[in-house]
Structure 1
Amino acid sequence: MSAFNYERTVTLVRDTLVKAGSTFRQDKKEAYQRAIAGETNEKAKWVLETILENAEVAEKNKSPLCDDTGIPHIVLEVGANAVFVGQMLEAIKEGVAEGLRKLPGRPMGIMGDDSQKIDQSGGLNPDSAGVEAAPILIRECEDNAIRIHILMFGGGPAIRGKTYRIFHKHSTKVVMDEIVKWAAEGVAALGCSPCTLAVGVGRSHYEATAMMLQAQVDGTYDVQSEMEQEITRKVNEADIGPLGLRGKTSVIATFIKVGPQRASGVRIVCVRPSCCFEPRIATVEL
């Protein structure tokens, strides 16, 4: 790893945030192309084609994929022998602020004290950088790198997501059926489908949500586990379709991550019906 350079780190984080907010990964583009080729509902096909065209234009212009430009969520990977200094956190924070201004992010930050932030009486911060990043999730990586994954989370999936307990009854099927039920309800209510479902299973609400976040970092559209394929297939059977217009493609893919579990009658599960533009994600190595 090269020596820490504050300004270089700020620039890398800034440009990575812009890329996350304006670009589809290649495997996601190919997943949309497969969905377009297999869709028989003409209205649904038109929606898929338009979403992909929008993504191509956004990437070319480095402009936001969606008017809801999102809240930055960061997964920080640190290798066992990598050297991480506290000043890096400040550089990451500054890079996020610069990225939000450059994208630009939609001004969504609420000013004021705790009560004013809750009821929105403090007024809107006109600075795009007033949208602060969520708390950083740190995990270990196998190499000796320091790597940052930036995801931009929109409001719709947060409204339609669900984190709750499921009584597993010693059956994976019971848990899977409940995930499919939650997901179908969320996709139908969301509107901006097709979705990429992000699912985390943990021992607490925090852990389940952390697993959901990591599922989006680790998931790929071209390699899907049997569990992921089953969830996608069953939700697609609900015939919701892009923008709720029906058709074969309510869900493009599912990303699921199961964390450590304990001897208990429940599993805590987090399901996020990520909208047609999510995961908005980009990665950089510092």
Structure 2
Amino acid sequence: MDIVNEISKSIIKASTCLSDDKLKALKKAIDLETNENASWCLSQILENYKVAENTGFPLCDDTGIPHAIIEIGENRQITGGLLNQIHEGIALGLDNLPARPMAVKGDEIERIEQSKGLYENPGMLKPASILLDTINDESTYKRDISPDTLNIHFLLEGGGPEIRAKTFRVYHQRSFDNVIGTAIDWLGESLKMLGCTPSIPSIGIGRTHFEATALMLKSIVYGNLDNQSEIEQFVTSKLNETGIGPLGFGGKTTVLGSYVNIGNQRASGVRIVSVRPSCFVEPRVATLKL
């Protein structure tokens, strides 16, 4: 197997195709929507999906920041060579897509200030740090990972949802309702400003900011709209009550579903909560099985 080329194909697939469960959820929302403007908007979003898949064009001009999660069993190994291949394959995929050039030139300060401009080559956009997932991970989305598993999940995370995302502490007051209610309030406010609804918001609840964000990212990979937990259904219901609707036009469909991933907790008065209000072209995910 040419791993670099297969990774490139995965990046292109993540950018141009959506999962069956999301397409099914969107079609269901169109059937149930009674607001004329919202119904029209949802139909246009569905058409956008079809055009992207049929032409191989990206679902959105914001082609996203690549992330990778490696799902590994106890009999498999990760080498430095494989990690290099992941980086090479992502760069090749961004070039072949082609993605929007977004990599900023310069040293630390110049990159922050964006004073040197951008690289023209899309593949210069480096992925975020790679996450690992093993059978020892404890969370809502705990995986039954076989010993011979080696899967690489690729996510493309757009800038709009990152602007509206939040990771912060919540004083739990020994109340789950307080914690999840706070997360819903954050998402309600962010969805008003996101613009690109309907969303599939993601929530991670952990012990540290890193852990909560990692849990949130894993929920995007493993979450499924065909199999929503009671908590996820509750989050979806409360956010749809906001009436924001697709692209802010109002109606029943502010979100198509939600992902909630709860990990280990520590003896403390706080829980760290990470929320991300994905835009309507997300989640953009593809998986390579090695």
Specify the alignment match of 1:54 in structure 2: 48
1:123 deviates by 1.1
Structure 1: how far apart are the matches of 2:18 and 2:78?
30
Specify the alignment match of 1:152 in structure 2: 156
Aligned length: 280
Superposed structure 1 runs of 4+ greater than 4 Å apart: none
Structure 1: how far apart are the matches of 2:266 and 2:212?
13
Structure 1: how far apart are the matches of 2:33 and 2:215?
31
What is the SS of the residue equivalent to 1:101? Answer: helix
Corresponding position: 1:265 with 2:269: yes
1:77 deviates by 1.1
1:83 deviates by 2.9
Counterparts of 1:127-142 in structure 2 under 5 Å?
Answer: 127-141=121-135, 142=145
Contact kept, 8 Å, 1:113 with 1:122, in 2: the verdict is no
2:20 pairs, out of 19, 26, 39, with 26
Structure 2: how far apart are the matches of 1:133 and 1:35?
33
Q: What amino acid does structure 2 have at the position aligned with 1:228?
A: E
Structure 2 unmatched runs, 5+: 136-144
Structure 2: how far apart are the matches of 1:85 and 1:200?
29
Structure 1: how far apart are the matches of 2:3 and 2:27?
35
Corresponding position: 1:14 with 2:8: yes
1:284 deviates by 1.0
1:134 deviates by 0.6
Identity of aligned residues (%): 47
1:123 pairs, out of 113, 117, 127, with 117
Structure 2: how far apart are the matches of 1:170 and 1:161?
25
Structure 1: how far apart are the matches of 2:201 and 2:207?
20
Deviations 1:60-111 (A, max 9, x none): 1111000001010111111110133220011111100000011111001100
Specify the alignment match of 2:98 in structure 1: 104
1:218 deviates by 1.0
Higher normalized strand content (fraction of residues): 1
Deviations 1:115-154 (A, max 9, x none): 0000000211100011111110011151212101101000
Structure 1: how far apart are the matches of 2:97 and 2:225?
26
What is the SS of the residue equivalent to 1:249? Answer: coil
Counterparts of 1:1-286 in structure 2 under 5 Å?
Answer: 8-141=2-135, 142-143=145-146, 144-286=148-290
TM-score normalised by L of structure 1 = 0.96
What is the SS of the residue equivalent to 1:271? Answer: strand
Structure 1 unmatched runs, 5+: none
TM-score normalised by L of structure 2 = 0.95
Aligned CA RMSD, in angstroms, stands at 0.8
Deviations 1:39-59 (A, max 9, x none): 001111111111111111111
Structure 1: how far apart are the matches of 2:133 and 2:177?
30
Q: What amino acid does structure 1 have at the position aligned with 2:200?
A: T
What is the SS of the residue equivalent to 2:277? Answer: strand
